[in-house]
């Protein structure tokens, strides 16, 4: 079973991963966007870390709802409301239980990803974070390592796609040949589930 500490570790591991990868994420966004994705997520996950330390929420759901709220209020770009919605909706789906199973997390994350698609209007294949998140929730039933591999594959698979949502879509065919920055950061988020489980 996964407790609040697990979810706190997931968020702090993601914050650390974003710090390590911020330059790469911003470089990806400089090719097909406005070169701020790493900076946006750095600002957001620093706020997540600080809020979790200060408020120490004691249920899985509360950890994710608080984290999502921080992302919505601190990230200026499109990714803030989208990641914020992902975490808030997933957290709400987990309810007030003190511990949740991996199957319950998989189901809640599915609700979170559905909310991201409803908010942003992106479907798989549109070259967005959805291309990493959907394969991750599809394989989460096989464990965190499987979800990590699926998200990484999904992120790499955005390279040949033409963007149909977000800033990159303004480039039309010129968006082809570059990895989507949000899909890359979603793969980091999913990878950190495995890190949190290993700790
Ligand atoms: P901005 O584009 O406002 O500068 P970021 O650079 O932080 O925001 O985030 C860009 C990422 O957000 C994209 O790479 C893409 O994955 C994701 N994104 C943008 N618009 C959408 C959307 N409508 N639906 C899903 N994801 C989106
Ligand atoms: Mg950007
Ligand atoms: Mg921007």
pLDDT tens digit sequence for 118-171:
999 999 999 999 999 999 999 999 999 999 999 999 999 999 999 999 999 999
Ligand 1 pocket check for 34: Cβ under 6 Å: yes
Bridge partners (DSSP) listed for residue 100: 2
**pTM of the model as a whole:** 0.98
Which residue is it, tokens 């997390």?
105
The rounded Å distance from CA 78 to ligand 1 centre is: 5
Nearest atom, ligand 1, residue 165 CA: 23
Tell the residue nearest (CA) to atom 5 of ligand 1. 37
**What distance in Å separates the CA atoms of residue 119 and residue 134, rounded to the nearest whole number?**
15
What pLDDT is stored for residue 25 in this prediction?
98
The rounded Å distance from CA 100 to ligand 2 centre is: 34
In the predicted model, what is the mean pLDDT of residues 88-95?
Answer: 98
- Given a contact cutoff of 8 angstroms between Cβ atoms, the answer to whether 41 and 10 are in contact is no
Ligand 1 pocket check for 128: Cβ under 6 Å: yes
DSSP string, 80-149: HHHHHHHHHHHHHHHTT-SEE-HHHHHHHHHHHHHHHHHHH---TTSSSTHHHHHHHHHHGGG-HHHHHH
In this structure, the strands spanning 2-3 and 99-100 are: antiparallel
Q: Which CATH number fits domain 2-198: 1.25.40.340, 3.40.50.1000, 2.60.120.260, 1.10.3720.10?
A: 1.25.40.340
Ligand 1 pocket check for 18: Cβ under 6 Å: no
The rounded Å distance from CA 164 to ligand 1 centre is: 11
Ligand 1 pocket check for 142: Cβ under 6 Å: no
DSSP state of 2: E
Tell the residue nearest (CA) to atom 4 of ligand 1. 77
Instruction: Name the average pLDDT for the chain.
Output: 97
ipTM above 0.85, yes or no: yes
- Given a contact cutoff of 8 angstroms between Cβ atoms, the answer to whether 18 and 45 are in contact is yes
Closest CA to 65 of 94, 37, 23, 44: 94
Judged by phi (left if over 0) then psi (alpha if -120 to 50, else beta), residue 35 lies in left
Please report, for the chain, the start and end positions of each structural domain, with discontinuous segments joined by +: 2-198
Ligand 1 pocket check for 58: Cβ under 6 Å: no
Bridge partners (DSSP) listed for residue 2: 100
Ligand 1 pocket check for 79: Cβ under 6 Å: yes
């Amino acid at each position: 079973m996964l407790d609040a500490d697990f979810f706190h570790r997931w968020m702090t591991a993601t914050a650390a991963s974003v710090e390590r990868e911020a330059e790469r994420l911003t470089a990806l966004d400089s090719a097909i966007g406005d070169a701020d994705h790493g900076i946006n997520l750095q600002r957001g996950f620093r706020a997540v870390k600080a809020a979790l330390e200060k408020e120490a929420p004691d249920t899985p759901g509360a950890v994710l709802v608080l984290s999502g709220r921080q992302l919505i209020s601190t990230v200026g770009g499109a990714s803030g409301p989208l990641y914020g919605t992902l975490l808030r909706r997933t957290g709400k789906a987990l309810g007030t239980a003190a511990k949740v199973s991996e199957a319950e997390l998989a189901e809640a994350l599915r609700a979170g990803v559905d909310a991201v698609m409803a908010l942003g209007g992106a479907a798989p294949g549109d070259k967005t974070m959805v291309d990493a998140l959907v394969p991750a929730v599809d394989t989460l039933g096989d464990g965190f390592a499987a979800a990590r591999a699926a998200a990484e594959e999904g992120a790499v698979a955005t390279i040949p796609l033409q963007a149909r949502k977000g800033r990159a879509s303004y480039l039309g065919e010129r968006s082809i040949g570059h990895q989507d920055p949000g899909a890359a950061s979603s793969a980091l988020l999913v990878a950190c589930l495995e890190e949190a489980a290993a700790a």
